[in-house]
Amino acid sequence: MTEPQGDPTLAAVAGEVFGSLLAATHFTRPDDLADTLADRARPLGVEDMVLYLADYEQALLVPVPGAAGERPVLRIDGTLGGRAYSDSATQQADTARPGRRQLWLPLIDGTDRLGVVGMTLPAPDGRVDRDLLGYCERYAHLAAQLVVGKSAYGDVLERVRRRQPMTVAAELQWRLMPPLVFATRGLVVAGVLEPCYDVGGDTFDYAVNGSTAHLAVFDAMGHGLAAAGTAAVAVSAYRTARRQRLDLAGTYAAIDATLAGEYGGARFATAVLAELDLSTGTLRWVNAGHPPPLVVRDGKLVRILDLRPSTPLGVPFGREVVAVGEEALEPGDRVLLYTDGVVEARTADGEFFTAERLAGFVEKEAAGGRPTPEMLRRLRHAILNHQGGQLQDDATVLLVEWRRDTELDLLPGTVSPG
């Protein structure tokens, strides 16, 4: 973040606020986090502060309980708080009390959207000083990191995000998931996983090591806990192979051997395993009986990355040399990895969502200037609406952007990474 310039007194107060918060949170329980954040922000002039987390369906912003009492749940669509979440940009509004201003600040861990922070501050001349706004945004960023860290030690923050019970299979899958959004210079990765409370065999994973982005989408056979267990084993084997620096063919072989050894051919998974060279744009991939990735360029579907598919992972027959595909991406390209539950989602009269419709949706949203995570949030709703709100199969999408210069769109305007 660019260091705010101006009032040295404000800078000194902000420094004390951040130091005080860090000191206080060593012993803070997850249940106390919302109140601790609100209390420690008061020297900045923050009269009221509420922490909101997005629910798993990314439809609502749900307040974290605190001493200030019950607060209303907000819809993401159609509210100022929701706009701060969807646009990753601070929003301001007048309050019923003269000389006060309401801030809605995105709650972002790195570039992963968690929710929003609502703050009420004095604004005698009808506006919030830009330096103070910068410190408030920085405070919200620190709050996001504390939410992620404290979530491991209790259940209150996790319960806030749930609007209905989660199956054991979904519990297992979500505990293995990486964050839904990651960005670095020249790269944005974002994913969506549905149905979020009842997902079984679908999952994805990614990692960035040096100049290589590792990407994977899995679809384990069947439904429920058995499928989730197969997917969990596949992801764990994938991470083990990746951390041993195996190449794509070696990674495929390692996951395949693990599943075959564990299940004796009784369970399997399809997958796409890919590596993107961030310096050159070279994409290499292996297809283990899975739908082929799509490349969208300049608002058009330009490539379906067909490749002779290898046998699904864990199937004990049909072994042959693993085919590794290679594609040269151009700056600005988007790559879509997805499971068959996306394109096979269908209306009551049997109309499929289709790969073309998937690419077309991304094109339309991109033309509207939607940030990548917001694009996928809207895609989730589009797939559900297409199938009447009830998916018949898991649906997963992993969207990758290379050198599209969209990573800064994921941060508030006062943030300027070095």
Residue ranges of the domains in the chain?
A: 8-159, 166-409
Question: What CATH number has the domain spanning 166-409?
Answer: 3.60.40.10
SS3 for 191? strand
| Cα angle: 323, vertex 335, 286; to 5 degrees | 15
Name which of 344, 343, 272, 256 is nearest 306 in CA terms.
272
The DSSP letter of residue 102 is: E
Partnered with residue 300 across adjacent β-strands are 297
Element (H, E) at 228: helix 224-243
Residue type at position 114: L
Please report where in the chains the tokens 């508030």 appear, as a residue. Answer: 412
Using an 8 Å Cβ cutoff, are 205 and 235 in contact? yes
Query: What's the pLDDT tens digit per position in 363-373?
Result: 888 777 788 88
Query: Mean of the pLDDT values across residues 318-341?
Result: 90
Cα 335 to Cα 130: distance, rounded to the nearest angstrom: 38
Give tens-digit pLDDT for 252-288.
999 999 999 999 999 999 999 999 999 999 999 999 9
Under 8 Å CB-to-CB from 212, ≥6 apart: which residues?
275, 276, 277, 278
Q: Which residue is it, tokens 């949170």?
A: 25
With residue 222 as reference, give the H or E element that holds it: none
For residue 391, what pLDDT is reported?
Answer: 60
* Mean pLDDT across the chain: 90
224-243 vs 248-263: helix crossing angle, rounded to 10: 140
> For residue 346, what pLDDT band results from cuts at 50, 70 and 90?
low
Task: Please report, to the nearest 10 degrees, the dihedral formed by the alpha carbons of residues 22, 27, 31, 35 taken in order.
Answer: -40
Chain centroid to CA 157: how far?
17
The residue to which tokens 């050159």 are assigned? 280
Q: Output phi, psi for 321, to 5 deg.
A: -65, 130
**Number of Cβ within a 10 Å radius of residue 240:** 14
Angstrom distance (rounded) from CA 362 to CA 376: 8
pLDDT digits (tens, 9 = 90+) for 85-104: 999 999 999 887 888 999 99
Band the pLDDT of 4: cuts 50, 70, 90: low
pLDDT class of 333 with cuts at 50, 70, 90: very high
Contact (Cβ atoms closer than 8 angstroms) between residue 82 and residue 89: no
Residue with the larger pLDDT of the pair 110 and 2: 110
Q: What integer pLDDT is reported at residue 389 of this predicted model? A: 60
Cβ-contact 183, 403 below 8 angstroms: no
* Residue count of the chain: 418
The answer to whether the CB of 272 falls within 8 A of the CB of 205 is no
Residue type, 52: Y
How far out from the chain centre does Cα 7 lie? 37
Task: Tell me the Ramachandran region of residue 402: left when phi exceeds 0, alpha when psi lies from -120 to 50, beta otherwise.
Answer: beta
- For domain 8-159, is the CATH number 3.40.50.300? no
CA Rg value for the chain:
23
| Half-sphere exposure (Cβ direction) of 59: Cα atoms closer than 13 Å | 8
**pLDDT more than 90, % of the chain:** 68
Q: Where are the beta strands (DSSP E) in 195-268?
A: 202-209, 212-220
Q: Following CA atoms 326, 331, 336, 337 in sequence, which dihedral angle do they give, to the nearest 10 degrees?
A: 40
How far apart are alpha carbons 180 and 134 in whole angstroms? 26
Tell me, what DSSP letter sits at residue 6? S
Structure tokens at 282: 């070279």
Asked if the model's pLDDT at residue 3 lies above 60, the reply is no
Q: What is the pLDDT of residue 2?
A: 47
Q: What is the average per-residue pLDDT within 334-345?
A: 84
